[in-house]
Structure 1
């Protein structure tokens, strides 16, 4: 079989990115399949009259996108086809010096000082069950009780028997869906929603059907229709400002959705990782329909990225199911991290950091409003990001690529699209992932790009 080669003289500047795009075009046209061998650096350098360093940078770019894998002595091969899911955020090793693509709370020396202090305390009086117990009920009993207090602090009352401690919201989300979905069943969710939902449903042997949204989130009429047309088993929903489009669902809409779920026998998986960070006043689905709702929250996105402790409120009828699935996947949450979270909740550190986070986010949203004045975007005073629809003429791929060339990473809106229908081009910009000076510089670059003529380069990053 012939090794694929791009046409000589077809490359534009920057050469390495243009070469990477030629590989992408070949994938899109079916000229390269998964597992296909790419030309060697030396061969491509000779054929295209470019430096070996340029070829190397192009292959590194393709590897960054998750499309190519290389090994010494064997060469470079196509790793993934383009129809496989891609993460919206930039990888850990990225050329971008200002990463506004990944969703994180604001963190600074305050958080480090609290962590150093609690680790010093743990060295003196760490409970033996954290190290020596191998039974989840023994190791996590106290942590579960404190979790109940934490949820109560922002208005959610739950029986301790219905609460599970997890290593963050993502494991909780996985366990909940494992407990209610069966092969061939359908999971419903927002048409612009959680970027890991599509592959997760696939891994569980289920289908994902996207439901139309408006400014409040899922539309009741569209949900009703989806329930009538599909073998729907569960609804995954993000009714708060964690949703990509920062939509916040009103109490009236929540009540409508809960009634539809009850009428059609749907379980509800409510993802609320911001938890106590967001001012309350809105009812949780676990309050509206406790018999069918999994409520998921965590401290990771509201307090500190590395504090991977989450809480899942489980419907009473499904406690045995989710307990068994937890045992066969993770066994139990990491007791040491859960102990840190519990101590911070007990001694008031967690509440103090929540108050600190709210002020920090308010300042950052004020900065965004200042630098993006006149630009239409969606935000919430306690959201970790803003959703920015792109002006006419701009494409997501072109905008994201050119932002990265200027040292700024942003997330492509289409990474959150769960439906088969194209959505208006947009980008997600994290406001908490960098220092204030970096955020300012990143927003200045984005603001300038919005007023420029769009550059018609590049396809998918």
Structure 2
């Protein structure tokens, strides 16, 4: 029998709620016996359900029915949906802080800012970004700073420059989901690298046959952790020994400790203004080693990933006049306060995060499956992100969820965390609905 027909039957059971989010599917051998099919066919059925987004595998636990994607249809009991998925922060008075910079731009040079600009930007922009990205004794050479429309485009340009179609890129086993989409569009295969609580394991990099590695060593998304200096040194030695290039995503580094790139001479740092300011003010930066500047610049131009002149001119003004620095100081304080709030409201749970992160990683109690918990939270009007959204290999996700803490008002966040705490203290069978 065609495995897709069997998958269709299971999908129908899920749609009719005969199988509910969080229900565990039988082990593949038992499934094969029940349906009179070969074990290899059962494996293909499960693979098809995972591919359709209907099921998720949890390492060492089995395969479970996946929660429906949250969206406009999400129930909103007692008020608006509480979104703990979106991971950004905009200060209440941020528009007032940014407005003078726009007034200055209109007054002093709007005509010039409306003309095209290249990937290398302007000398003023390069100098401003080099000062902004400096950390841990490392200051990038101004001549190596390149500009894209946003951080996602910076990642795409660098990956395109470093890894050919059909090539392999090493990434943390759970990673920023957009990297998965970028790799798929570029024809690049992602190779998951094992991690522990300190970050990527050097032996995992040594065992991988890859052209480059993409890492988030500071305030990892979704894990929220920061790689300690000892592990950074070990990884730096590893990539040097293997002659690998590194793509270091520093989008959250402004919130974390003052640490330099892993191996600066072979690391391309990518960053943007989206977290420092707001998603709608995204100018992306890429700072490659000197011998890769022309290659990354060419990739950005060919991909159409160059920053707009107006956005770049506005960003340069805000970086130069101290506006960004002032906003960043306040966002650091807000992130630290939200982390304290999360730990106060979720006592006794396995919460992992850097003290300065916008988000935290919640390893759920064993009695809960991540997909079951996501579905139960959604019924209470709270959206959280399951680990499966970040897993590089479909069906190999930890039993965890990510909570984004910064974009929800503090009182709303506190109430939502109280609801989630009470939910996690209970048992899944107490939350079943017809």
TM-score, with structure 1 as normaliser: 0.76
Show CA shifts across 1:16-56 (max 9, x none): 9838969x99xxx9xxxxxxxxxxxxxxxxxxxxxxxxxxx
Match of 1:253 in 2: 231
Match of 2:84 in 1: 100
Partner Cα distance (1:88, 1:246) in 2: 25
1:307 corresponds, among 275, 281, 288, to: 281
1:169 maps to 2:166: no
Q: RMSD of aligned C-alpha atoms?
A: 3.4
Q: How many residues align?
A: 390
**Secondary structure of 2:362's partner?**
strand
Match of 1:129 in 2: 112
1:146 maps to 2:120: no
CA contact (8 A) 1:90 1:102 kept: no
1:447 maps to 2:425: no
CA contact (8 A) 1:194 1:416 kept: yes
1:18 maps to 2:17: yes
Partner Cα distance (2:16, 2:370) in 1: 16
* CA 1:341–1:135: 2 relative to 1, 3 Å: closer
1:225-244 mapped onto 2 (5 Å cutoff): 225-226=207-208, 230=209, 232-244=210-222
Between 1 and 2, higher relative CO (CA 8 Å, sep ≥ 6) is seen in 2
* CA 1:134–1:247: 2 relative to 1, 3 Å: closer
CA contact (8 A) 1:398 1:456 kept: no
1:367 maps to 2:344: no
1:272-351 mapped onto 2 (5 Å cutoff): 272-280=250-258, 282-285=259-262, 288-290=263-265, 292-330=266-304, 332-351=306-325
Show CA shifts across 1:121-176 (max 9, x none): 33322343311245455x53321221112123664311122111222221111111
Partner Cα distance (1:256, 1:140) in 2: 37
CA contact (8 A) 2:218 2:253 kept: no
Structure 1 position 247, deviation (Å): 2.3
Show CA shifts across 1:350-376 (max 9, x none): 111111011111221121111111212
1:82 corresponds, among 48, 53, 58, to: 53
* Residue ranges of structure 2 left out of the alignment (5+ in a row): 25-30, 32-50, 57-65
CA contact (8 A) 2:351 2:363 kept: yes
Structure 1 position 6, deviation (Å): 8.3
Match of 2:391 in 1: 417
CA contact (8 A) 1:190 1:210 kept: yes
**Secondary structure of 1:312's partner?**
strand
Match of 1:159 in 2: 141
CA contact (8 A) 1:111 1:304 kept: no
Match of 2:93 in 1: 110
Q: Which moved more, 1:415-424 or 1:351-360?
A: 415-424
Match of 2:47 in 1: none
**Secondary structure of 1:128's partner?**
helix
Partner Cα distance (2:415, 2:351) in 1: 18
TM-score, with structure 2 as normaliser: 0.80
Partner Cα distance (2:96, 2:409) in 1: 17
Show CA shifts across 1:303-355 (max 9, x none): 32322022211121221211111112225202222222211111111111111
Partner Cα distance (1:84, 1:129) in 2: 53
Match of 1:218 in 2: 200
1:194 corresponds, among 168, 176, 187, to: 176
Structure 1 position 272, deviation (Å): 0.9
Q: Which moved more, 1:116-125 or 1:313-322?
A: 116-125
